[in-house]
Amino acid sequence: MSALPFDQRDGWIWFDGELVPWREAKLHVLSHGLHYASSVFEGERAYEGVIFKSTEHSERFRRSGQLMDFEIPYSVAELDAAKALCVEKNGDPNVYVRPVAWRGSEMMAVAAQNATVHVAIGVWPWPSMFDMATKMKGIRLDMAEWRRPDPRTAPSAAKAAGLYMIATLSKHAAERKGYADALMLDWQGRVAECTGANVFFTQDGALHTPIADCFLDGITRRTVIDLAQARGMDVVERRILPDELPSFNECFICGTGAEVTPVSEIGPHRFTPGNISRTLVEDYAAAVRPRARAA
């Protein structure tokens, strides 16, 4: 991956309806989105030039805006077309895709009823991190101190910028201790998710995963559930307490960025990445690639 800062790259950014040269895609410092976190975004991946589940991401993007009390001024079809154009224009068929929407500069106080909503889309290379052998060693997770909030205290179903402040704090703390990421509990002390990915466990051949009612119900999470069920596995969505961690054999996290990534440790608990994780890593890799899907 390029170490160049994101504002010093070349290419094209889709900005409020048109493609603009990458370095010219700027906004003013007095923007409501920056000061008050009235901003929502998406994270998607294009494989072989095709964005995986693009329409589901566009729908979630619009829904996130509505949960923040604003309407994204483009339809799902327009967003899908804009993302596809961005991937094509930038030339690399395997990229991460980042749509973002934010309130602009017309009003700079808590209320921003009349502020316009802006939308931009950037794409950049984000290779899958590991080969299979490295992946199957598993990553190490810290236990985060921050908890996912009660859905009555934050719009937790939105992929909203403000919800990421505790994710960044948790991930920084984890990285300082040498971990790859952190597992967050929810406001009631139950296992929730990682800082940017959902979590699954295995027990007696079945998958167990927390109910996504106070954190993002990932599009990858739903894909993994479908893939596991297509293999005849039982999938149990339920409350999972941290005390139960020693009773699970395998653990993996999943998300657009992480794809399916096995876990070897969560704080003091050890897991052994095994056949179920390997199967789902492979099934997900096949599901996202249009050529494999067509075969």
Task: Answer yes or no whether residue 216 interacts with ligand PMP by CB under 6 A.
Answer: yes
Task: Answer yes or no whether residue 43 interacts with ligand PMP by CB under 6 A.
Answer: yes
CB of 216 to ligand PMP, least distance (A): 4
Known catalytic residue: 159? yes
Q: Considering only residues 31, 58, 64, 256, which one is a binding residue for ligand PMP as defined by CB under 6 A? A: 256
Q: Which range binds ligand PMP by CB under 6 A, 32-40, 97-105, 193-201, 274-282?
A: 193-201
Q: Considering only residues 11, 99, 122, 218, which one is a binding residue for ligand PMP as defined by CB under 6 A? A: 218
Task: Answer yes or no whether residue 219 interacts with ligand PMP by CB under 6 A.
Answer: yes
Site string for ligand PMP, 78-117 (x = CB under 6 A): ----------------------------------------
Question: 3-state secondary structure string, the chain?
Answer: CCCCCHHHCCCEEEECCEEEEHHHCCCCCCCHHHHHCCEEECCEEEECCEECCHHHHHHHHHHHHHHCCCCCCCCHHHHHHHHHHHHHHHCCCCEEEEEEEEECCCCCCCCCCCCCEEEEEEEECCCCCCCHHHHCCCEEEEEEEEEECCCCCCCCCCCEHHHHHHHHHHHHHHHHCCCCEEEEEECCCCEEEECCCEEEEEECCEEEEECCCCCCCCHHHHHHHHHHHHCCCCEEEECCCHHHHHHCCCEEEEECCCEEEEEEEECCEECCCCHHHHHHHHHHHHHHCHHHHHC
Total site size for ligand PMP, rule CB under 6 A: 14
CB of 10 to ligand PMP, least distance (A): 26
Comparing every residue's Cβ against ligand PMP, the nearest one is 218
Residues carrying an active site annotation: 159
- What is the contact surface with ligand PMP in residues (CB under 6 A)? 43, 167, 193, 196-198, 215-216, 218-221, 255-256
